Structure 1
Amino acid sequence: MNRRVLVCQNTSCRKYGAAQVLKAFQQAKVAAERSGCLGQCGNGPMVIVLPEAIWYDRVQPRQVPIIVEQHLQQGAPVQPWLYQKFHAV
């Protein structure tokens, strides 16, 4: 499955480090793209993995290697970091 990662780069997410999150995905050689506002301001940096539409909130650069390994390579979303608004456990 060809997955794409969108990282919000709008004002609120950038304030919380979204540029560094995007850079961390790109350094991990992941097809990561900047996105406009995802409508979840105040919960960022927001990350969406497509095509499954799996959302992560408040992502920090140190979390990226785990998301890459567990979700993108092994196909298992990182449950504790899922955005609860869309992925209630």
Structure 2
Amino acid sequence: MLTVRICQHQSCRKKGAAKVIQAFRSLAPAEVTIEPSSCLGQCGNGVMVLVLPDQIWYDRVRPEEVGAIVDRHLIRGEPIRAMLYRKFHPTQT
């Protein structure tokens, strides 16, 4: 089962983390767990989203991008390479 953690700490909160988590909660399939997270340690790159157990990181996620993540990654199992956090996925282009 997939779990999506969305940082709700200071810098992510300032960049709209509440709206991002709201979008995930309204769009994600029922079998996907959506969790608010404390700091994920990547301040300044938020809103940070971590998909587990895949260990896939998305950075600078905006509410309008959540639908694409839900459709392609959470439903079809295809992480969106163009949106991946380069620090942890440097060769994914």
> Which runs of 5 or more structure 1 residues have no equivalent in the other structure?
none
User: What letter is aligned with 2:51?
Assistant: V
The reply on whether 1:9 has 2:8 as its aligned counterpart is yes
Residue among 20, 37, 57 paired with 1:35:
37
Summarize deviations over 1:44-75 as a string: whole Å, max 9, x none: 00000000110000000000000000000110
RMSD: 0.8
**C-alpha distance in 2 between matches for 1:74 and 1:8:** 23
TM-score (norm 2): 0.92
How far off its partner does 1:31 sit?
A: 2.0
Give the total of aligned pairs: 88
Aligned to 1:46: 48
Q: For 1:6-85, what aligned pairs fall within 5 Å after superposition?
A: 6-29=5-28, 30-85=32-87
TM-score (norm 1): 0.96
What stretches of structure 1 move > 6 A for 4+ residues in a row?
none
**Counterparts of 1:18 and 1:59, CA distance in 2:** 8
5+ unaligned residues in a row in structure 2: which ranges? none
Q: 1:86 aligns with which of 78, 88, 91?
A: 88
Provide the identity percentage: 55
